[in-house]
Amino acid sequence: MRFYKIMIALLLLSSCKKSEPIVITPNDYHNAVDKVVEIMVHDIFSPPVASRIFAYPNIAAYEIIAMQNPRYKSLSGQVSELTNIPKPKTPDHINFELAALIAHMDLSRQLVFSEDQMTSYSDSLYDIWEHKNPEIFRNSKAYALEVNKHIAQWMNADNYKQTRTMSKFNIDSNDIARWEPTPPSYMDGLEPHWNKIRTFVLDSASQFKPIPPPIFSMEPDSQFHKELVEVYDISNKITEEGDTSEEIQIAQFWDCNPYVTVTRGHLMFATKKITPGAHWIGITKIASKKSNMNFEDTVYAHTKTSIAIFEAFISCWDEKYRSNLVRPETLINKYVNDSWKPILQTPPFPEYPSGHSVASGAASIALNSIFGDDFQFDDDTEQRFGLPTRSFNSFEQAANEAAISRMYGGIHYRAAVEVGVKQGRDLGIFVVNNLNMLNE
């Protein structure tokens, strides 16, 4: 009899237990983004595709925040073909921050290859939240998935799936001015049809078409040849100085090549890193944390920056496969020094303009609009790859360094980095001026 009394008492106590509030913090969002980046590194996404993986989940989270908080304006009607997300049926029984985080994680899961890794991560959090407050968790999750169904339908109409089946890029081996695959893996040109992806804010991929690169010429007094020799001379100079060279450290810090092939005799393997966009998403995290942003402002900062980066890659790739310019490594090996290697591995797509430069210019403008022009920060984004922290007095300074790093690395001519960062900034200004995200 005593046993049954104890069991009844325990059941009564459990039935009287109050649900705990589910508190979602900015760190929860940062941790989710970090998990997505980790999976993206594992899965090896190209820089343009990676920019897409960042943008859509951030937009899904932002739209949920904008649904509830009058400080933020929906992107519906501002971003191409995006319509209003569904309204929640029981708003008083939803934690909108929780719903935003779930939406981000669930849509990210749909966009990566290793879905199981994202599922394991989110399920571990779901267990905690459901235990704290089953009703709020289930309602918030249901709403997040309803929103994601709406966002996914819009996302899947951006021409990405169609570009997966389009033809490879044709190499014109008879024209020395045109790009050709580079060592050591001689990969095909990545994403030659990326300019067909639907833009968010730009009216077309070519809206910020840059000036053409210097006219190809191997005449010693031509601008193009001078820039080629400059790459070779800089590389030789800083290589002689060794790994302590500031230029080499800058090149390595901003390398951001998601797939670097390493050869050791007959053995070939790959080292994996983050993309340029992921580096700037990392900077967004650093700035958000330094500014003590709340959850909603953190989502806003990530969304605005990821949209600028997404547009930058469409704009840049549009020009890359139009100008179709040969890389320095190809010409230097053919006409100057057949044993020369750039400090960084040449990525597999045409040279002009520099993708990192365009993306950095655009991201820096977006971040300026959020945090200010003179925001000092310590960038530890590359620590996971064994690289030390670098400090910057502004996002502009960081973008300039990212751009020039491509020339130090031996993978771009000067025109590609200088024109590229300007293209990115011009594009970024347009994006910022045409996205009205705050009610102030």
What's the pLDDT tens digit per position in 347-389?
999 999 999 999 999 999 999 999 999 999 999 999 999 999 9
Domain 21-158 has CATH 1.20.144: yes
Q: What's the pTM value of the predicted model, to 2 decimals?
A: 0.95
**Is 174-434 in the same CATH topology as 21-158?**
no
Instruction: Please answer whether residues 161 and 117 qualify as being in contact, where contact means their C-beta atoms are separated by less than 8 angstroms.
Output: no
Instruction: Please answer whether residues 281 and 33 qualify as being in contact, where contact means their C-beta atoms are separated by less than 8 angstroms.
Output: yes
What percent of the chain stands above pLDDT 70? 94
Q: What is the dihedral of CA 171, 317, 326, 429, to 10 degrees?
A: 170
Is the alpha carbon torsion for 146, 151, 157, 162 positive or negative?
negative
Instruction: Please answer whether residues 396 and 368 qualify as being in contact, where contact means their C-beta atoms are separated by less than 8 angstroms.
Output: yes
pLDDT in tens, 198-254: 999 999 999 999 999 999 999 999 999 999 999 999 999 999 988 789 999 999 999
Instruction: Please answer whether residues 61 and 144 qualify as being in contact, where contact means their C-beta atoms are separated by less than 8 angstroms.
Output: no
Instruction: Give me the residues paired with residue 196 across strands.
Output: none
Q: Is the pLDDT of residue 427 over 90?
A: yes
CA–CA separation, 232 and 223 (whole Å): 15
CATH number of 174-434: 1.10.606.20
The alpha carbon of residue 96 and the mean position of all alpha carbons in its chain are separated, in whole angstroms, by 25
CA–CA separation, 279 and 276 (whole Å): 5
Contacts of 392 (CB under 8 A, 6+ apart): 376, 377, 379, 398, 401
Domain positions in the chain are 21-158, 174-434
What number of other Cβ atoms are within 10 A of residue 70's Cβ?
Answer: 7
The alpha carbon of residue 167 and the mean position of all alpha carbons in its chain are separated, in whole angstroms, by 25
Between helix 295-323 and helix 276-290 the angle, nearest 10°, is: 160
Instruction: Please answer whether residues 413 and 216 qualify as being in contact, where contact means their C-beta atoms are separated by less than 8 angstroms.
Output: no
Q: Is the pLDDT of residue 43 over 70?
A: yes
CA–CA separation, 19 and 41 (whole Å): 38
* CB-facing half-sphere around the CA of 335: CA atoms within 13 A: 14
- Single-letter residue type at 159: N
Contacts of 360 (CB under 8 A, 6+ apart): 276, 280, 398, 399, 402, 403, 421, 424
Across the chain, mean pLDDT equals 94
Distances (CA, A) of 249 to 37, 138, 253, 372: 23, 49, 6, 27
CA–CA separation, 341 and 330 (whole Å): 10
pLDDT band at 267 (very low <50, low <70, confident <90, very high): low
User: Could you tell me which residue, 3 or 109, shows the higher pLDDT?
Assistant: 109
What percent of the chain stands above pLDDT 90? 90
Instruction: Give me the residues paired with residue 159 across strands.
Output: none
